[in-house]
Amino acid sequence: MARQPLVAKRAEELLGSSVVATSPVAGGDIATATRLRLSSGQTALMKTLPHAPEGFFEAEAAGLRWLSEVEGGVPLPEVLGAADDCVILAWIEPSSKTPVEAAVAFGQQLATTHRAGADGWGLDHDGYIGRLPLPNRTAGSWAEFYAVRRVLPYLKLARDRGAIEEADATAVEKVIGRLTDLLPDEEPARLHGDLWNGNCLWGQDLAIHVIDPAAYGGHREADLAMLHLFGLTHLPRVMAAYDEAHPLADGWEDRLGVHQLFPLLVHACMFGGGYGARAGTLAARYL
C-alpha cells in the first residue's frame, strides 16, 4: 500500500490517528473509496466525494448508527468518522464464500432489525438514495408515506427526465390510488432502505454485512421487495429464516411488486434504460 497524502491527511484530521498507507478500492459508482491502514493496526474504508450534496455522508453515518442500535440485528460497519466531504468506516474483509449458514443468520438478524421498529413512518431528517434526495418527513400511514415520499417524487422526476412513458406513468398513478387496499397495516419497521444485493457484503467472518443504507421507518416488506428485485444468494433460505423469526402477513409475496415500484423509479431516474417500462408493467398487475 502506498500513501495518498491528501486523503491520508483528511483521514487523520477526523480520526486523530496516523494513516500509514492507503490504496484505492474498486467498485462504488458514486463516491471514491480508499482503504486506509492506521498506525493502530486497524484497517478502515474512506469514501470521498468532491462537492457532495449537503448532508450526504452525514446521512449515511446516521443511518448506520441508527441501525446499529439494534442488538442482534444485521451486522454493519462501525462509523469511525463523518463530515460533509467524507465518511470513514471500519473495514469489512470481503469473502468469495456464500455459506447457507450465513444466509440463515442474516434472515434472523434482518427480522430482529425490522422488529426493533421506528418512531413513525419516515425519519426526523431527510436522506439520500444513491445521489438523489430522499424525503423522510413523516406521514399518518404507510400508504400515504409510500405514495407521497417514495413513489410520486421519483415518478415526477422520471417524467421530467423522459425516463418513463406516459402510459407506464399512468399505470403507476392508478396503483397509488389503491395502496390503502393493497397494503396491510403494520407498525413501522426499522428499514435499511436500499437493501439490494450490492449492499449486502459477505465477509470473511462468514456473516452478511449491510452497507450504504438509506434508513427510515417504513413497512418491512419494502426492504424484502428490494432484496427480491435484484436477487441475493440463498434468498429462499434468508426468507424462511426471516419468516420463522418474524412471521409475515399472508400474501406478502403477491405484494412485492407494489414495493418494487419505488426502487424501479429511482433506477429510471438515475440510469434510464428500461426501468420506467418495468415499473409500468409491474404496476399493471395490480389494476
Cβ atoms of residues 90 and 44 within 8 Å: yes
Cβ atoms of residues 37 and 18 within 8 Å: no
Cβ atoms of residues 123 and 58 within 8 Å: no
Helix (H), strand (E) counts: the chain: 11, 11
Tell me how far apart the alpha carbons of residues 34 and 4 are, in angstroms, rounded to a whole number: 9
Question: Is 119 one of the annotated active-site residues of the chain?
Answer: no
* DSSP, res 196: S
Cβ atoms of residues 206 and 126 within 8 Å: no
Sequence-ordered alpha helix ranges (H) in 5-116: 5-15, 56-68, 100-115
Question: Distance between terminal CA atoms of the chain?
Answer: 56
Catalytic residue among 168, 185, 194, 223: 194
Q: How many residues does the chain have?
A: 287
Cβ atoms of residues 207 and 201 within 8 Å: no
Q: Is 147 exposed, middle or buried (0-12, 13-18, 19+ CB in 10 A)?
A: buried
Q: Would you give the distance in Å from CA 277 to the centre of its chain? A: 23
Q: Which three cell numbers stand for residue 246?
A: 418474524
CA distances from 179 to 137, 175, 188, 276 (A): 19, 6, 16, 19
Single out the residue of 229, 237, 239, 243 nearest to residue 275, CA to CA: 229
Active-site annotation, residues: 194
